[in-house]
């Protein structure tokens, strides 16, 4: 692993500039899982720091940057993991199919809450799927995983594609497999996926929900129809 320690030092030096109470927040309130470092920098600060340091490192080799980002995930310090995900998305044009193996390993090793799952999968990992849609066949295997975050990931990873008006049938395929999953984090994940799909395919998603509402968890149903007209929502919520 070719970790560039100077990048990590530059990142931490930049964060020091913003190490003030008004730039911090308690993330624990958003999670049931106990966070290792619950007090972290606010989102806008993380984005700002990521952008400033990226100006200094944008020309380093892709693999060196990915190795360094993995080290940031491993060290799991407040803000640094978020920066890593932003940097990886910034170099998405350099992605190749072979990156799937690395990203999948990260998903299994470093994801232990919905926030990181969604940052990975609705972010850079989802962009990899947009670029190489045939890789979806690999993500479908996650729907049967014992790991709740992999099951959630199987839905969330399709969100970047759905935003571009692609992969509706795959989204329905994933939703069918996860339909009666009892895990609330999985339900919210595939419910979110259906809500995003409805932005471009409202009629299709609405029909999908109507046909399955007798068995679909109410949490999923509410997510899926959230942005639909009140008249449609009322009919969908009828027992």
Residues 143 and 239 both lie in one domain: yes
Residues 141 and 235 both lie in one domain: yes
* pLDDT one-digit tens code per residue, 144-175: 999 999 999 999 999 999 999 999 999 999 99
CA R_g for the chain: 19
- Please tell me the pTM assigned to this model: 0.94
Considering the domain boundaries, does residue 215 fall inside one? yes
Tokens coding 118: 């969604």
Nearest to 186 by CA among 156, 141, 159: 156
Considering the domain boundaries, does residue 61 fall inside one? yes
Count of CB atoms within 10 A of residue 192's CB?
21
Considering the domain boundaries, does residue 10 fall inside one? yes
Residues 11 and 62 both lie in one domain: yes
* pLDDT one-digit tens code per residue, 63-117: 999 999 999 999 988 799 999 999 999 999 999 999 999 999 999 999 999 999 9
Residue 38 has pLDDT above 90, yes or no: no
Which pLDDT belongs to residue 1? Answer: 60
Residues 146 and 239 both lie in one domain: yes
């Amino acid at each position: 692993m070719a970790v560039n320690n100077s990048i990590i030092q530059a990142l931490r030096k930049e964060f020091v500039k913003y190490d003030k109470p008004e730039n911090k927040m308690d993330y624990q309130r958003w999670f049931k899982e106990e966070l290792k470092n619950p007090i972290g920098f606010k989102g806008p600060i993380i984005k700002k720091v990521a952008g400033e340091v990226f100006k200094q490192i944008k020309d380093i080799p892709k693999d060196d940057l990915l190795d360094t980002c993995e080290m940031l995930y491993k060290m799991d310090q407040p803000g640094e993991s978020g920066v890593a995900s932003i940097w990886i998305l910034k170099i998405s044009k350099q992605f190749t199919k072979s990156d799937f193996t690395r990203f999948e390993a990260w998903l299994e090793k470093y994801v232990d809450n919905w926030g990181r799952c969604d940052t990975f999968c609705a972010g850079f990992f989802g962009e990899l799927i947009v670029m190489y849609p045939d890789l979806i066949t690999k993500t479908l295997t996650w729907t049967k995983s014992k790991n709740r975050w992999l099951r959630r990931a199987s839905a969330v990873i399709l969100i970047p594609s759905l935003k571009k008006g692609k992969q509706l049938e795959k989204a329905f395929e994933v939703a069918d497999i996860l339909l009666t999953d009892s895990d609330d984090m999985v339900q919210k994940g595939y419910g979110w996926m259906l809500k995003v799909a409805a932005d471009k395919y409202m009629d299709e998603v609405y029909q999908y929900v109507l046909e399955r509402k007798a068995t679909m968890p109410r949490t999923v149903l509410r997510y899926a129809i959230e942005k639909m007209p009140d008249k449609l929502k009322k009919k969908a919520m009828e027992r």
